[in-house]
Amino acid sequence: MKFETKTIHGIKKEKKKELWGTTVNFASTFPVAEFGVTQEFEYSRVSAPTRNQLESLLANLEGGKYGYAFSSGMATTTSVFTIFEAGDHIILGQDIYGGTYRILNDVYSKFGVESTFVDTTDLKNIRKAIKPNTKAILIETPSNPLLDVTDIRGVVKLAKEHNLITIVDNTFMTPYLQKPLDFGVDIVIHSATKFLSGHHDLLAGVAVTNDEKLAEKIQFAQTAAGALISPFDSWLLMRSLKTLKLRVEAAQKNTEKLIEFFQKHDAVDKIYYPTLDTNKGKKIHESQATGGGAVFSFTLKDDSKVKTFFESLNVAIFAASLGGAETLVTHPSTITHAEMPEEEKEARGFTHSLIRIAVGFENIDDLIADFKQALEK
């Protein structure tokens, strides 16, 4: 099946009776049918019908064998990290999601898991950071908020040479645009709160792998820690996935048109997007993804006008997050990267004038008109 057909028909139907849609099963426990015989569903922290359907669909879409769904992206990351032990070392991209940074730095560090954050756009930096106790590399490509690109195939090759696990946070791309497992990545994780659910109305996360041993460990963490997605949210996410291709395409098309408009506007300085000629990773991105996605960042020439810009928006909403119907605009230096020291923000280019736009699927004329009047002010 092609991708969009899978999003609609990719749920394994157990019984021919289930002809339409998906039944939500809210049960937390299931009667024992026969004394002494284990059964598929006993207690829903361990295994639950609606969550199982969602997990098989998500695995199918990422091209993986095993999928596990959680109550948020961070619940996923936190659970996946239980595969590590005291003394293990992980290498991550320096622009990794703030919550991922926080859980490693403030929580897993207490249990003896070490981490190093490097600029993964240059593989040499990863190579240099590898130590005898390094166990894994976690990347996000493109990164947030500057949309820097990391070479997935290159990271996998390097990891294989050193026997390391590779993890890709594929939230920004979705499996419609990029399938890291196809390049030999071991685990793909997502905040399904973003594009996969697509309407800014639910928190969820997913981990997918082809590796049976890793799958067992992730499933163990899911059962042991219990950071699970609910039956209702499982159902809602399956409903959302049916339109994933339509939503991503519409938002990406709007993004391309908005960028064209921003490029011509005098108030705009730099623009950051994976497929622009100014992005040094453009070629690599195009070799591993089929589109640039629906998030871009730009800088205002006059950084004293940042507040005015945000206050002038009427259609786009000033809010964190991305991947939903509504266009969201955020300010990395005070919102998503607020806790980063000022010098580091400057050094990385997360300046006061940097603004991130997560494009939705409103009519493009309304979006352009809204940004035009805000930029004019």
Ligand X SMILES: *Cc1c(COP(=O)(O)O)cnc(C)c1O
**Where does this chain bind ligand X (CB under 6 A)?**
72-74, 97, 99, 140, 169, 171, 191, 193-194, 203, 205
Is 169 among the catalytic positions? yes
Q: Which of 135, 194, 245, 356 is catalytic?
A: 194
Choosing from 45, 65, 153, 253, the catalytic residue is 45
Among the listed residues 88, 95, 151, 169, the single catalytic one is: 169
Cβ of residue 78: shortest distance to ligand X, in angstroms?
9
Q: Which is nearer to ligand X, 244 or 374 (CB)?
A: 244
Angle between helices 212-225 and 73-80 (to 10 degrees): 120
Taking every pair of Cα atoms in the chain, the longest distance, rounded to a whole number of angstroms, is 75
Contacts of 94 (CB under 8 A, 6+ apart): 117, 118, 119, 120, 348
Cα dihedral 321/276/253/233 (nearest 10): -30
- Please, which residue, 106 or 343, has the CB nearer to ligand X? 106
Can you read off the two tokens belonging to residue 22? 């998906």
> Is the previous residue joined to 180 through a cis bond, with omega within 30 degrees of 0?
no
Residue among 6, 66, 88, 97 flagged as catalytic: 97
d(CA 23, CA 35): 27
Which of 323, 167, 146 is closest to 237 using CA atoms? Answer: 323
Q: How far is the CB of 140 from ligand X (least distance, A)?
A: 5
Beta bridge partners of 190: 206
Our CA angle for 39, 45, 46, nearest 5°, is 40
Handedness of CA 114, 115, 116, 120 (dihedral sign): positive
DSSP classification of residue 43: B
- Whether 153 is a known active-site residue: answer no
CB of residue 73 to ligand X, shortest distance in Å: 2
Q: Which residues of 136-152 are buried (b: 16+ CB within 10 A; e: fewer)?
A: bbbbbbbbbbbbbbbbb
Tokens (6 digits) for 285: 């991105």
269 as an active site residue: the answer is no
Please work out, in degrees rounded to the nearest 5, the angle formed at the alpha carbon of residue 150 by the alpha carbons of 120 and 189.
95
For the chain, state the CA radius of gyration. Answer: 21
Q: C-beta of 266: minimal distance to ligand X in Å? A: 31
Q: Minimum distance between the CB of residue 200 and ligand X, rounded to whole angstroms?
A: 11
Q: How far apart are the first and last CA of the chain?
A: 49
Q: Which residue is nearest to ligand X (CB)?
A: 73
Choice between 6 and 194, CB closer to ligand X: 194
* Residue 74 or 289 having the CB closest to ligand X: 74
Q: Is 108 a catalytic residue?
A: no
Instruction: Pick between residue 97 and residue 309 the one whose CB is nearest to ligand X.
Output: 97
Of 185 and 268, the one with the shorter C-beta distance to ligand X is: 185
Closer CB to ligand X, 88 or 169, in the complex: 169
CB of 36 to ligand X, least distance (A): 40
The minimum distance between CB 134 and ligand X, in angstroms, equals: 22
Q: How far apart are CA 9 and CA 25, in angstroms?
A: 19
Active site residues: 45, 97, 169, 194
